[in-house]
Amino acid sequence: ICCLFVKVQLRPAPPVFPSYSSMSEAVVPDALVSPAVSGLYGEKAGGPTAVDFSYVGIDAILEQMRRKAMKQGFELNIMVVGQSGLGKSTLMNTLFKSKVSRKSVLATAQEKIPKTIEIKSISHDIEEKGVRMKLTVIDTPGFGDQINNENCWQPIMKFINDQYEAYLQEEININRKKRIPDSRVHCCIYFIPPTGHCLRPLDVEFMRRLSKVVNIVPVIAKADTLTLEERDFFKKKIREELRANGIDVYPQKEFDEDAEDRMINEKIREMIPFAVVGSDQEYQVNGRRLLGRKTKWGTIEVENIAHCEFAYLRDLLIRTHMQNIKDITSSIHYEMYRVRRLNENNTVVAHANGIPEHHLAAHEM
């Protein structure tokens, strides 16, 4: 596994989706903050201030959590999976408006198709408006590029489980770290070739197996090769095949927390898979500089929702659901792995001590 660290600066832009509940911030009105608390954080003290004697200040915990999170920074690990030539590196560069992909950082000569699937990760320290994030992009060159692609998902499945195992071992240490490094894969973006017909058996088998261990977000790569009618038909066909094969992609319906989440997530589920176009080239259009792909008949604007659905994907991954994606990874996918592994260890210990399995099962119940 290759790891590099790069520091980049991002440019802000308004989100398309409504803000997710877990990402919201609360600001305590100045008039309700006591002089002692104001002075503690170096704010202006003195002067006439209206004091509400009924105000306790419980909601200030949100500001305390925000300050702590700003100091610690955040971590996000994204895996990209798909055949060569589908624009995985370009899309990641477009998402973060920086050269964050493996190929962009390494800048090597034309790579040969690897004989087996390789897992390569590159980490970057990103900062925007004082918020620091360690972004890790995990690439899987070689996936789906062979004549025989049987069991080609196994190295990817093993890598994901290895990260869970590493986190588990750190967690069960007697003298464990105050903050355990999180290398768990939070999201897997799966690139579907723009055939316009249906999913391939490889697509179905990969998503069916991997959706049980990681959050999968399917996208139609290079969607500008399809007409609007072909794109809509293809998206509808893919949704039908996902339902027919019992594939639950992110956001999973069973994890909706309340009616508000359900309403927001239903709109997203109706759009999946996102038909995206990636580009890290800027062009001048009507006096505006924007990311796009220039053709003989015009410029395809990457962030224009009338041209493609890149903006919806960006908002899902970064602006509205990032924390939710990490929470589901920790509380659902990792927890299932942890329970399974600890049960296996208990069974091994029980056998070593000569305890019958039915006694162990009764004890667990």
For the chain, list the domains and their CATH numbers.
Answer: 70-100+113-348 (3.40.50.300)
CA 68 to chain centre: 22
- Residue-wise pLDDT for 220-240, tens only, equals 999 999 999 999 999 999 999
> Smallest Cα–Cα separation from 133: which of 167, 98, 107, 104?
98
> Smallest Cα–Cα separation from 101: which of 116, 88, 86, 82?
88
> Are the C-beta atoms of 199 and 192 separated by less than 8 Å?
yes
Share of the chain above pLDDT 70, in %: 77
pLDDT band at 82 (very low <50, low <70, confident <90, very high): very high
Give the 3-state secondary structure of residue 127. Answer: strand
> Smallest Cα–Cα separation from 82: which of 231, 222, 213, 189?
189
Give residue 178's identity as a one-letter amino acid code.
K
Is the pLDDT reported for residue 42 higher than 80?
no
The whole-number pLDDT of residue 350 equals 65
Q: Which residues contact 91 (CB under 8 A, 6 or more apart)?
A: 80, 189, 191, 219, 221, 276, 278, 310
Task: Work out the burial of residue 250: count CB atoms within 10 Å of its CB; fewer than 13 is exposed, 13-18 middle, 19 or more buried.
Answer: buried
Q: Kindly state the average pLDDT of the residues 299-320.
A: 93
Strand partners, 281: none
Is the pLDDT reported for residue 338 higher than 80?
yes
- Residue-wise pLDDT for 197-212, tens only, equals 899 999 999 999 999 9
C-alpha span between 206 and 199 (Å, rounded): 11
> Are the C-beta atoms of 185 and 210 separated by less than 8 Å?
no
C-alpha span between 49 and 73 (Å, rounded): 34
Give the 3-state secondary structure of residue 75. Answer: strand
- φ and ψ of 282, to 5 deg: -100, 140
Q: Report in angstroms the alpha-carbon separations of 262 from 214, 267, 312, 320, 330.
A: 20, 9, 17, 14, 20
Averaged pLDDT score across all residues of the chain: 83
The whole-number pLDDT of residue 336 equals 96
pLDDT band at 256 (very low <50, low <70, confident <90, very high): confident
**Alpha helices per DSSP H over the chain:** 35-40, 60-72, 88-96, 102-106, 154-171, 201-210, 228-244, 259-271, 310-314, 322-328, 334-352, 357-364
Q: Kindly state the average pLDDT of the residues 170-196.
A: 93
CA 356 to chain centre: 43
> Are the C-beta atoms of 325 and 186 separated by less than 8 Å?
yes
Is the pLDDT reported for residue 351 higher than 70?
no
The bridge status of strand 282-285 relative to strand 274-275 is: unpaired
> Are the C-beta atoms of 202 and 257 separated by less than 8 Å?
no
Give residue 160's identity as a one-letter amino acid code.
I
